Every structure is written in structure tokens, then in C-alpha cells.
């Protein structure tokens, strides 16, 4: 592919190279690569399910060790609230109270979430504010029919001359209504962090945000800081980062030629949440908890969430103690065959990794090198919840191109559903990924891993989008917890579904888990 001098300048301004763009273009030519799932990870076969005693032991381990650790909560928070309000945008565009009743419109749409929204609209945390603004902005509001009022309220919630919620970052949308305050998802993350991250009265959080939103988050923190810090007896050190422009990817047309905008410039798109491996790689903490911005609970339900966060943290520490001890022994050399076999059993029983059939034929030195290669990696412990129909990726045992089998979080789009055997495995899966992840990014020598070295680039994903009405193909980088961490050592632990409370649509705010009363 020959690029013009202007193209090369544009590429370099992104922090990219022509070689990297050529690599991305080759992925479009190659197409999506489906993963080879061997089995769904299930309790006893890839997912640990712990007794109450084991949970308490892991929690105690975490609580004992946490004061000597640098802890961090990493929250992907760059998403806008637009998708959350999609059904309301359609309603605002389509509904005409002079031609149709609200009841008829809802019956016609057959949208259960929209139905739930209007049934519970007065319970929404921003309803009172929207009603006050609607009364002030629309003369004769009280004299209008109920259907007309509902339309005005929706427009007031959504648009710029009202609350403008659909243009907010999702993290700054009011989520929960308490007697004395209304709390955003951002605020709820602070309350949660204070319960399991606070060391000597300080909790560290990092939010990845969209360009232009950092000041909005900082303003929100300034507004709530005194109240939250007094309530939690904790000070908060909050940092922010953006998705690096050099993680953007080139878009192509249907012929896999670079897609160009109306000015003839190459069109780049953000590379998806997999680009955040760059942001994660820039963090420095002994333990990093990853959780999405919209997965929060009201205060009264925080206890169970905190308990299981500590359990996952304790499991990470338990595994690190074992892995670091083994790596120290392997590094020292002069290790017995019995100890080498013990370490191989640890790989199988604790990390659910298949040990090569040739292992017993290896020399002692070859066994040491093999075990070091398998153990010396970043580590993650991932909570998994029972699948109750929520969308999301799931835990599987996957064979890679070298024939090695490991635990992976796989999205449905990565699986070849035309293959009957693969579809059968998918349909037999019992759990899914709520993005409840605890990470260890240092090795046994206290050196930080370069996380870029543990990404499976073959898990990049091609998606079909449009720009200015024209179709294009977009390249999503390997998802942060999918291909972005594919070469990490991974452990799955069951956590209760009550710890997973995402807000995908505005109606989700009306679920019991988001009600304060």
C-alpha cells in the first residue's frame, strides 16, 4: 500500500508508523479469527466455588496484607450515556401525542424496558429535577395531557436545553436517590473503594475518561469530596487518563482500502476498550481491581460486594505467594524431580493449564525452563457469575495456535457459531464475565511486567460500521479482558450474581438493586 506524504504525516501525528498501519490492513485482509473453545469453564472445571470457611480465610489474608500494599481501583469510564437513553431518543423522535396515545405507542413498540421506564418514571433519581425544569420551561405544563407531559419530561431529561443527560459521561448520570442526596455512578465507586481499598485512610482510584470529560469528573469530585470523605473517613487520590491516540485503528472500505473522509484524510477510529491495556500498563500498584463504571450498588447492598472483592484479592495474594515461591526455587536451580512434578500439578490444578505430554521426557533444565515460562506472567483472578441471560462474554478453556490450553474470557462474536461442536460448547456454558477482575502486574523480583507482551493480537475484531452514510470496516483491538489479557495466568472464581448490577438502559435504574428504599 503506497501512502502519500500527507498520509504519512497524518499517521505519524497519531504516534503510529506506516508499518503498524500495514499490519492493521493485513488483519482486514485476513478477517476475523474464531477461537477454538475446548470446553466451557464450569464449577470444578475451571471455576472455583468456595465454601464460607475458604471465603473467610481469603478475606482474612487480604485484610492482613492490605496495609503493606499499594492498592488501586481501575475504572473504564469513557463511555457516554447515549446508548443508555437510546429507547428514549426513539420515543422523543417518534411519539406524537396528537396522533397516538402513549399506551398505543408502548403496545406498538413491545419494548419491556420502555414500559418499565414509564411505569416507574417518578422513582428515577433525576425525575424531580426534570419535573421542576419542565414546569419552568414549558408554559402551561400543568394544563397539558399526561401523554404530552411525559413527552416533555423525556425531552427535558435528554436534551441540551434541559438536563442534557444523554450527552453526559455515563459515570456522571445520577444513578441513586437517597434521602439526603442523589449519587452518580462515579460517587458510588468512591464509597465502594473506601470499604476495601483504603489504607491508612487513603484510597487510590484511576478513571479512564473521554477527551473533554476530565474536567467534568474533577468538578463532580470537587462538589462531593467533603461529604464523601467525611462519610467514609477516607481521602481519595484520583487520577485520570485518556485513550492514547496511538491506539486508534485505521478504518477501511468494503475493498479493504483505507476509508477516507470528505477531505480525503485517512479515517481513524478509537480501538475499543482493548486500547486501555496502554492505560493499565502505565499504572503502578501491587493489586489493581478492575470494574466497569456502570456496575455499582446502593449503599445498603455494598457489604456483599466488598466481601467478594476482598475474597478475590485474597485469592490473588494466595496464588502470588505460591507462584513467586516456585519461581524463586526454579531460579535457584538444583531442584528435585518431586518438586518439579509438584509445580506441574499446580499448573494443572490451580491454573487449569494443560501440561505438555512431553514434560516427562524433558531434562531437568528443560523442565525448569518450561515451568518458568508458564508461571512467569501477569496474574488475574476474575469473578464469574451464573448466567441468568445477561449479555457478555464468558469463561472457556481455549486452545491456542501452539496447542496450549488455558482459561480465557471469550465474547460470543469470537466463537464460530456455524460450527455445531463450538455452538454446543457455547450453549453448555453456565457462567459469564461481569468484569470483576483483580490483577497482579509485578513479578517475583518486584519488576513490572510490560503488559503489551501478553496481548494476543490475533483476537483483534473487525466490526461493520458507517461514517457519513457510507459503510466501513472498523478494527477493534483485542478486548481488554479478552485478547488483551490472553497470555496472562488466569483464575476464575464464582461470585454471586447480586454483585453484578450494570446499568445498560435507563430502566435498569428502576431494578431493586438500584433502589435505596
Q: What is the pLDDT of residues 340-359, one digit of tens each?
A: 999 999 999 999 999 999 99
Distance in angstroms (rounded) separating the CA atoms of residues 308 and 314: 10
Choose among 9, 15, 494, 500: nearest CA to 246: 15
* Inter-residue contact 249 to 474 (CB < 8 Å): yes
13-68 pLDDT per residue, tens: 999 999 999 999 999 999 888 999 999 999 999 999 999 999 999 999 999 999 99
Choose among 501, 488, 420, 495: nearest CA to 452: 488
* Inter-residue contact 491 to 407 (CB < 8 Å): yes
**Hunting for cell 476530565 — which residue is that?**
214
63-92 pLDDT per residue, tens: 999 999 999 999 999 988 998 999 999 999
* Inter-residue contact 189 to 59 (CB < 8 Å): no
243-288 pLDDT per residue, tens: 888 889 999 999 999 999 988 999 999 888 889 999 999 999 999 9
Question: So what's the pLDDT on residue 491?
Answer: 98
Choose among 123, 169, 497, 127: nearest CA to 301: 497
From residue 378, give the alpha-carbon distance in Å to each of 126, 147, 289, 322, 366: 42, 56, 14, 14, 22
Q: What is the separation, in whole angstroms, between the first and last Cα of the chain?
A: 61
The mean per-residue pLDDT over the stretch 94-122 comes to: 95
Burial class (CB in 10 A: 0-12, 13-18, 19+), 173: buried
pLDDT band for 328, please (50, 70, 90 cuts). Answer: very high
The mean per-residue pLDDT over the stretch 102-116 comes to: 95
What is this structure's pTM?
0.94
Amino acid at each position: 500500500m503506497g501512502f502519500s506524504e500527507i498520509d504519512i504525516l497524518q499517521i505519524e501525528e497519531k504516534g503510529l508508523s506506516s508499518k503498524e498501519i500495514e499490519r492493521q490492513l493485513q488483519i482486514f485482509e485476513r478477517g476475523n479469527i474464531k477461537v477454538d473453545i475446548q470446553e466451557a469453564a464450569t464449577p470444578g472445571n475451571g471455576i472455583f466455588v468456595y465454601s464460607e470457611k475458604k471465603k473467610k480465610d481469603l478475606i482474612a489474608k487480604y485484610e492482613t496484607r492490605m496495609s503493606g500494599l499499594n492498592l488501586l481501583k481501575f475504572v473504564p469510564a469513557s463511555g457516554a450515556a447515549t446508548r443508555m437513553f437510546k429507547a428514549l431518543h426513539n420515543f422523543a423522535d417518534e411519539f406524537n401525542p396528537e396522533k397516538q396515545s402513549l399506551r398505543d405507542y408502548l403496545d406498538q413498540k413491545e419494548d419491556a424496558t420502555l414500559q418499565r421506564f414509564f411505569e416507574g418514571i417518578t422513582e428515577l433519581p433525576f425525575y424531580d429535577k426534570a419535573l421542576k425544569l419542565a414546569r419552568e420551561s414549558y408554559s402551561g405544563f400543568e394544563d397539558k395531557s399526561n401523554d404530552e407531559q411525559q413527552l416533555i419530561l423525556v425531552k427535558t431529561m435528554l436534551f441540551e436545553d434541559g438536563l442534557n443527560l444523554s450527552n453526559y459521561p455515563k459515570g456522571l448520570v445520577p444513578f441513586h436517590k437517597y434521602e439526603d442526596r442523589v449519587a452518580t455512578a462515579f460517587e458510588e465507586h468512591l464509597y465502594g473503594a473506601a470499604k476495601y481499598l483504603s489504607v491508612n485512610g487513603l484510597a487510590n482510584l484511576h478513571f479512564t475518561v473521554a477527551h473533554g470529560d476530565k474536567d467534568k469528573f474533577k468538578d463532580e469530585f470537587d462538589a462531593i469530596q467533603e461529604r464523601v470523605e467525611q462519610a467514609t473517613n477516607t481521602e481519595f487520590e484520583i487520577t485520570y487518563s485518556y485513550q492514547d491516540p496511538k491506539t486508534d485503528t485505521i478504518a477501511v472500505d468494503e475493498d479493504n482500502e483505507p476509508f477516507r473522509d470528505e477531505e480525503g484524510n485517512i479515517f481513524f477510529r478509537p480501538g475499543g476498550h482493548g486500547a486501555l491495556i496502554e492505560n493499565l500498563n502505565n499504572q503502578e500498584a501491587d493489586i489493581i481491581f478492575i470494574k466497569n463504571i456502570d456496575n455499582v450498588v446502593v449503599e445498603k447492598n455494598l457489604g456483599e460486594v466488598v466481601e467478594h472483592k476482598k475474597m478475590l484479592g485474597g485469592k490473588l495474594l494466595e496464588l502470588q505467594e505460591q507462584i513467586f515461591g516456585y519461581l524463586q526455587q526454579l531460579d535457584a536451580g538444583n531442584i528435585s524431580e518431586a518438586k518439579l512434578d509438584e509445580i506441574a500439578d499446580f499448573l494443572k490444578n490451580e491454573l487449569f493449564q494443560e501440561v505438555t505430554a512431553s514434560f516427562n521426557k524433558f531434562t531437568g533444565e528443560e523442565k525448569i525452563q518450561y515451568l518458568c515460562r508458564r508461571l512467569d506472567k501477569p496474574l488475574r483472578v476474575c469473578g464469574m457469575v451464573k448466567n441468568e441471560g445477561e449479555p457478555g462474554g464468558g469463561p472457556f478453556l481455549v486452545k491456542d495456535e501452539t496447542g496450549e490450553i488455558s482459561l480465557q474470557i471469550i465474547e460470543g462474536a469470537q466463537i464460530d457459531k456455524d460450527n455445531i461442536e463450538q455452538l454446543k460448547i457455547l450453549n453448555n456454558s453456565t457462567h459469564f464475565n461481569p468484569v470483576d477482575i483483580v490483577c497482579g502486574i509485578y513479578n517475583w523480583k518486584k519488576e513490572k511486567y510490560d503488559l503489551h507482551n501478553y496481548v494476543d493480537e490475533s483476537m483483534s475484531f473487525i466490526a461493520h460500521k458507517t461514517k457519513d452514510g457510507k459503510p466501513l470496516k472498523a478494527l477493534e483491538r483485542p478486548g481488554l479482558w479478552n485478547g488483551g489479557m490472553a497470555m496472562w495466568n488466569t483464575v476464575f472464581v464464582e461470585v454471586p450474581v447480586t454483585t453484578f448490577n450494570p446499568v445498560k438502559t435507563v430502566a435498569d435504574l428502576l431494578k431493586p438493586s438500584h433502589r435505596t428504599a
